[in-house]
Structures are given as C-alpha cells and as structure tokens.
Structure 1
Amino acid sequence: MSHVCIQPSHVAVVTGGASGIGLAACRAFAAQGLSVVVADVNAEGLARAVEEVAAASPRGRGAVRGVRCDVTLRHEMQILEAEARDAFGRIDILMANAAVQPGSDIMGPDGAWDRILDTNLYGVIRTVQAVLPGMIADGHPGLVIVTGSKQGITTPPGDPAYNVAKAGVKAFAEAVQHDLRNRPGCRISAHLLIPGFVFTPLTANGRTEKPAGAWTPEQTVDFMMRGLAQGDFYILCPDNEVTRAVDERRMLWAASDIVENQPPLSRWHPDYADRFAAFLRGPADGE
C-alpha cells in the first residue's frame, strides 16, 4: 500500500537529492514510476545521482531531470519550480531535504552558523514558499515532506546551530500542515520526517563502513513511505540502536524540563543522571 500521490503519473521534486536520504527517496519514487526532479548544489554528485535514479526507473532517463540549485538563493528555488513544471507539467510531491552539518559551537564560527541556518532552515522555507503555491493552485492531492531531525526536538549538546535549524524546521512544518488543513478544498498535506541514526555523507565523519547502530538511507525512506501511507505527520524513525519507545521517553523528558522547571538539557546534567535513567526504564511492573 502506498500514498495516493505516489503513482506513475505523478512528479516528485527532491532537494538535496544527490546523496543520502534525498537520493534514496529519488530512487524510491522513480522505482514506482514517478517522474523525479533531482535538485542539488553539487553538480558532480548531481550528474551521478541522475544516472542512478534513471537506472531505478522503469521509464528510464526520460523520467528524470537534474537541476543544480542552491537552496540559500530564493531565485534559484523559483527556477527549480519552473524547470520541474517545464519538464513534467506538474508537481505532486515536494521533499525539502537539503542540509549541511559542518559543526558549530555557541561562540561560532560565524560562517558555520550562517551556512547551517541559511541551508537547513531558511533553505526549507524558501523551497516550500517557491513550490507550494503552484501545487495549491493545481488543486490536486499533494505531499510536502520536510526532513527534520531528532536533534531539533531533544536538542542534545554538541552542535547548537544544527539543533536550532532543525527545531525551526519542526515548527515550520507544523505551521505548514496547519495552514494546509484549514484551506477550503486543499488536498495537500505536509509531513515531518524525523530520521534516526542514518549513515549518510552528512553523518559519516570519515567512516567508510556503516556503523552497526545506523540505518541505511534506504531503510529510512522505506519507513517514510509507510508513514506517508498511514497519513502520519510525525514520521519518527527508529534505527538499530534506538527504539521508538526510547525516543518517546527522551522526548517526554525534554518537554518535562519546561513543565517541571528543570535545568535546560537536564538529561545531560549530572544531578539528573539517575532520575533520567530511571525515567528511561519506565515504571516497574505492577506500578
């Protein structure tokens, strides 16, 4: 079973489509007969990706268009929308997926903060603002998929700029879905993909072999497809290290920092280590 929008006559546009989760999504859409627009800033990687996606498509190269574009530039997102419509006449699925992770610290560097926020947050906003109005005007069912991160929900220490961007992406995706469901006659829905530990060029950190705890991009996209078919907004992916139950407890604890007036990020505070460990185990049998 698949979502009604995922069918051969339809068109998917994926930013950050030349590698990782984006490329896996492009291949999955192509394998189901969709026309696919692979969008990426990396021209060399884009050329390779287009051939991979075409090989996955029963319709071959004619069903795939590669568009080199930079999500930090609003006019290039408008060009992406125009080129997709010029190539295939319509857009049914938009996956705003492009992201970077160069690393950051509270005190900088400024370039890393600027690049992360401009790509991971404002890039998502620009992409949706460029493509969604035309999808709404078309009047047919559609999907907007935004790639978030668990780091935007539990905000662990270590890469604050990435966390800030992904927290913003979550809030933006929620706002988009609220807007869409309140538009009379609108048949487009938004969805937030929340990956677990996925082995991609973004997370490899010099490793060439997938860690045992990580999922592949293909596993993540398979899970995404099931979530879309079920109509889930929050597509919360497990991995080989963390179950959904553990993710839920971590997220509930993060919310309890506010509700219980605990120190921020108390999960990593030494005074709360034992309490968090007990909370993570859950209530004992019979309690």
Structure 2
Amino acid sequence: MAIDELARFSQVFRPGALAVILGSASGIGREAAKRFASLGMKVAMGDNEAAELQASADNIRKLYNCGESVFAQPVDVTSPDSIATFHGSVKKAFGDVPVNVLMCNAGTGVGTGALGERAKWDKTLAVNMWGVINGCQEFVPDMIKSGAPGYVVNTGSKQGITCPPGNLSYNVSKAAVKVFTEGLAHELRTAPTNADGKLTAALLVPGWVNTGISFKTARDLKGAEFDPAKHVHSWEEKPAAGAWMPDKLVDYFLERLKKGDFYIICPDNEVTEETDKKRVMWAAGDVAYNRAPLSRWDARYAESFKEYMAKDGYEQS
C-alpha cells in the first residue's frame, strides 16, 4: 500500500531527519538548508563556492544553535568522484542516519546558442544536467536501501519546458533535468525495493527568484572585467520587485510537496500560476498542432498567441 502523502511529509520533515543539498551556498539551496535546520533536521550542504558555503553554514548554526547538525563541504557536482567523496563525508558526519531529502540544486546560467562555443555547452551540461544525474546516482541507491521515507528534489526551470529563445544550452540542460526526473519518479514508483512508495521524486521549477545565479555567471564569464555595481540582474542583495525572495519560494515548494505534487512550477510577483499553465499548454500545442517550433516567438503566430492568452480555458488551434 502506497504511503499517504501527509504521512510521508511529516515523517521526513521532522527533528533528526537528514537532508542533503547540492548547491546550497546561496539562493534557494541556502534557504532550504536554513528552513530544514529550523525544523531540527540534520543538514549536509555541498557547493563549489567554498568560502560562501562555509559562511552560510556558520550562519545557520548560529541562527538555530544547531552546531554539529549542519555539515558543509565543498563539492564539484560535475565530478562523480567529488560527489562520492562528499557522500562518504556525510556518512562519517552523521553515521547511520539515512538521507531523507536529496536536493540537486546546483546550477549555472552559462549558456550559448545552437552553434555556440563548445566550452559553454560543456560547462552548462556538466553542471545543470550531469550534476543532477551524478547526485542522484550517488545518493539514491542508499536512500532506497534504507527503506526510509524521502524525497529526491531536482531543480529544473521553466526554460526547460517552454524553451524561450536566447540561451539554448541552458534550455537543453534543464529539459534534460525534467525528463530525467520524470523517469526517476517512474522507476521509483515501480521498483520492487520501493514497493510501498516511501521514496519519491519531485521537479522543482522556480519562477523568477532573487538568487545569485546570474550574478555568479556574469562574474565567471567576465572575470576581472566584472563590475558588481553594473550588474543589471537581481540577486538577494539587489532584489527585483517582480521576483520572489528565496524564502517565499521554499514556503511554496514545501506546501506543494506536502500535497504530493511532482511538478512544482512556481509563480512569482509577475507571472501567475494560470499564466504558466497556459504557456506550457501552448508549447505542447506546437507538437500537437504541428505549428512552427517555438511558435510563441514566431511573428506568424503572434496574434493567435495573444488571443489564446486573453481567453479562458486552454483550447487552441
């Protein structure tokens, strides 16, 4: 018999349970670590930004007086060996405590077009796609073996669903995360070793959030030429009014997880849930109605898309 969703949630998000978060030095990952620690959970934080990771972990320990319950170690999610080393360190830090939550949240905004630089393609896919696959392949087998209730949460993007032009390599990497996580969820619910469905997966799809991803991407791309004062995109220290703060996203994410949702597509202060749904349905319609690919951005369909978004319902042609 499958586990009740509320029962799973209460059994996971409780004092003493263990959450592992890859990509937790800042932004969504850091806020999730903070929230889990506030619940009395043990938290293992990994990120390639070593100094920021340590500062974030120290701050969480101080906020919640949780000392050894928060473990932090630099990790390179593009390297299976680095993740394996991190996994070993988590086991050493927390002993036989099973992992109840795995969040594969590390990401980069480095991107390019179809014929763009191979190095940028390699970087984007290595972090955004392989980082998720590496994290899951390292931790999930032990999560299944433990028999403990839990969640595997992979961070995708709306750009991996509706695929707006402008950053194709990023879209491809996040589309891969969507497909991988869908497949993982299916394999988990049909696995004989997980017959009671205690372990499940979810796809977290943020809206516009004030995080450091664009800031760090610009910094990494421009190097010494990067001027923080001239960086136009938002992050936690320079929030945009239209974007959610990470804590609001974590609130929404946990409420949806409690309901048992797999697709956790988050709105923001500019884009509603209904708008997201209609955009997703229009994108699917490109295939179903044999329109031009990415027709939402094709001038031939501009009026049709405008009319579709203005009316009630999802009927389209």
- TM-score for the superposition, normalised by structure 2: 0.86
Indicate yes or no: 2:201 matched with 1:190: yes
Moved more, 107-116 or 251-260: 107-116
**1 CA distance for matches of 2:271 and 2:11?**
30
Aligned residues: 283
When residues 101 and 40 of structure 1 are mapped into structure 2, their CA distance, relative to the original with a 3 A threshold, is: same
Indicate yes or no: 2:129 matched with 1:129: no
Q: Which residue of 1 aligns with 2:226?
A: none
1:23-172 correspondence to structure 2 within 5 Å: 23-58=30-65, 60-89=66-95, 90-172=98-180
**1 CA distance for matches of 2:10 and 2:182?**
20
1:183-262 correspondence to structure 2 within 5 Å: 183-184=191-192, 186=194, 187-204=198-215, 206=231, 207=233, 208-262=237-291
* Shift, 1:185, TM fit: 5.1
Q: Indicate conservation of the 8 Å contact 1:84/1:91, yes or no.
A: no
Q: Secondary structure at the match of 1:7?
A: coil
Q: Indicate conservation of the 8 Å contact 1:69/1:77, yes or no.
A: yes
* Shift, 1:3, TM fit: 4.1
Q: How much is the aligned-residue C-alpha RMSD, in angstroms?
A: 1.4
Indicate yes or no: 2:286 matched with 1:280: no
**1 CA distance for matches of 2:192 and 2:63?**
37
**2 CA distance for matches of 1:232 and 1:3?**
15
**Match for 1:140: what amino acid?**
A
Moved more, 82-91 or 223-232: 82-91
Question: Which of 5, 20, 37 pairs up with 2:12?
Answer: 5
When residues 182 and 56 of structure 1 are mapped into structure 2, their CA distance, relative to the original with a 3 A threshold, is: farther
**2 CA distance for matches of 1:247 and 1:227?**
16
Question: Which of 165, 177, 185 pairs up with 1:177?
Answer: 185
Q: Deviations over 1:214-244 (max 9, x none)?
A: 0011111111111111111111100000000
* Shift, 1:78, TM fit: 1.1
**Match for 2:264: what amino acid?**
I
Q: Secondary structure at the match of 1:70?
A: coil
* Shift, 1:103, TM fit: 2.9
The percentage of aligned residue pairs carrying the same residue is: 39
Q: Secondary structure at the match of 1:54?
A: helix
**1 CA distance for matches of 2:284 and 2:140?**
31
**Match for 2:302: what amino acid?**
A
Q: Indicate conservation of the 8 Å contact 1:32/1:57, yes or no.
A: no
Q: Indicate conservation of the 8 Å contact 2:151/2:201, yes or no.
A: yes
Q: Which residue of 1 aligns with 2:3?
A: none
**2 CA distance for matches of 1:15 and 1:261?**
39
**Match for 1:201: what amino acid?**
G
Q: Secondary structure at the match of 2:103?
A: strand
* Shift, 1:57, TM fit: 2.9
Moved more, 100-109 or 170-179: 100-109
**2 CA distance for matches of 1:147 and 1:73?**
18
